Amino acid sequence: MNKKCFIFDLDGVIVDTAKYHFLAWKNLANSIGIDFSHAQNEQLKGVSRKRSLEKILGWGNQTLSDIDFHSLMEKKNSEYLNYITTMNRSELLPDVERTINFLIEMNQFVTLGSASKNARPILVKTNLLEAFDAIVDGNDVTEAKPNPEVFLKAALLTNTQPNHCIVFEDSVAGIQAANAAGMISIGIGNENILSEAMYNFTDFTELSNSFLEELIKH
Ligand code: B16
Ligand code: MG
């Protein structure tokens, strides 16, 4: 029996939190006089909190003291946490649960590879924590996506070779990280944006169990 490691990104793949990250970053950027567009937000998806703020300051040609930098990171995170306090299973993206349940039924490894430091509380709120064989999040890595560290750690924890790992991602940085790790990359979202992915689907409703079976076999 083939056992592959399926690695799920969190924000924008399992839950619809990408919109909350966008709102919190937009409000923060605007509060210091920096414009923030949807196109810029795309460049922050999958990118760590620290790196995201560095990029925003770069776009606005601003530099800050360490203290101010950390207080802005805190401010963004507390607004984000406010958005997700009441989060529940209704914010799971369509057919994510069907996909996870099918993979469990097929005796595959189901793991998380997220840049977020808030991943575990979100999995608790959505009742998914138990579904994962391994969880790697922003607290476990030193390098942010597009560095492959987060996905390679998930492979290591399940003792799976990278070429037997399949990554579901909604961000350009995450697809690049999966490709750099030598894994199969599957873009979930806009295929024009995620053009570097090996396969593309708008969402999991388009991704059939028979396609998953093919991935398991080959
Ligand atoms: P936090 P993912 C990423 O999560 C988000 O896409 C990105 O927008 C966010 O800045 C990053 O996590 C850090 O999140 O501030 O909660 O630690 O998509 O890799 O699951
Ligand atoms: Mg994501």
The residue nearest atom 16 of ligand 1, judged by CA position, is 116
Does residue 140 have an active-site annotation? no
Q: Are 176 and 197 in contact (CB under 8 A)?
A: no
The neighbour count for residue 108, using CB atoms within 10 Å, is 23
Confidence (pLDDT) at 1:
60
Q: Are 17 and 122 in contact (CB under 8 A)?
A: yes
For residue 6, what are the β-bridge partners? 110, 166
Tens digit of each residue's pLDDT (9 = 90 or more) over 116-167: 999 999 999 999 999 999 999 999 999 999 999 999 999 999 999 999 999 9
Confidence (pLDDT) at 133:
98
**Fold agreement (5-16+88-217, 18-84):** no
Mutate to test the pocket of ligand 1, among 7, 45, 81, 147 (most ligand atoms within 8 A of CB): 45
Token reading at 7:
């690695």
The residue nearest atom 13 of ligand 1, judged by CA position, is 116
Question: Is the peptide bond preceding residue 146 cis, with omega within 30 degrees of 0?
Answer: yes
Give me the CATH topology for the region 5-16+88-217: Rossmann fold (3.40.50)
Tens digit of each residue's pLDDT (9 = 90 or more) over 181-197: 999 999 999 999 999 99
Question: Is the peptide bond preceding residue 121 cis, with omega within 30 degrees of 0?
Answer: no
> What span, in angstroms and rounded, lies between the C-alpha atoms of 202 and 123?
22
The residue nearest atom 1 of ligand 1, judged by CA position, is 116
Q: What is the dihedral of CA 35, 53, 172, 39, to 10 degrees?
A: 0
In the chain, where the domains are located: 5-16+88-217, 18-84
Give distance in angstroms: CA of 16 to centre of ligand 1. Answer: 12
Q: Is 208 helix (H, G, I), strand (E, B) or coil?
A: coil
Confidence (pLDDT) at 90:
93
The residue nearest atom 15 of ligand 1, judged by CA position, is 49
Q: What is the pTM of this model?
A: 0.94
In terms of Cα–Cα distance, which of 147, 151, 155, 192 is closest to 47? 147
Token reading at 69:
């930098």
Element (H, E) at 165: strand 165-169
Tens digit of each residue's pLDDT (9 = 90 or more) over 81-130: 999 999 999 999 999 999 999 999 999 999 999 999 999 999 999 999 99
Give distance in angstroms: CA of 98 to centre of ligand 2. Answer: 19
Tens digit of each residue's pLDDT (9 = 90 or more) over 29-47: 999 999 999 999 999 999 9
Does residue 11 have an active-site annotation? yes
Which option is the CATH number for 18-84: 1.10.8.80, 1.10.150.240, 3.20.20.80, 1.20.140.10? Answer: 1.10.150.240
Taking CB atoms and a 6 Å cutoff, what residues make up the pocket around ligand 1? 9-12, 21, 44-49, 52, 77, 114-118, 138, 171
In terms of Cα–Cα distance, which of 170, 172, 160 is closest to 110? 160
Give distance in angstroms: CA of 1 to centre of ligand 2. Answer: 30
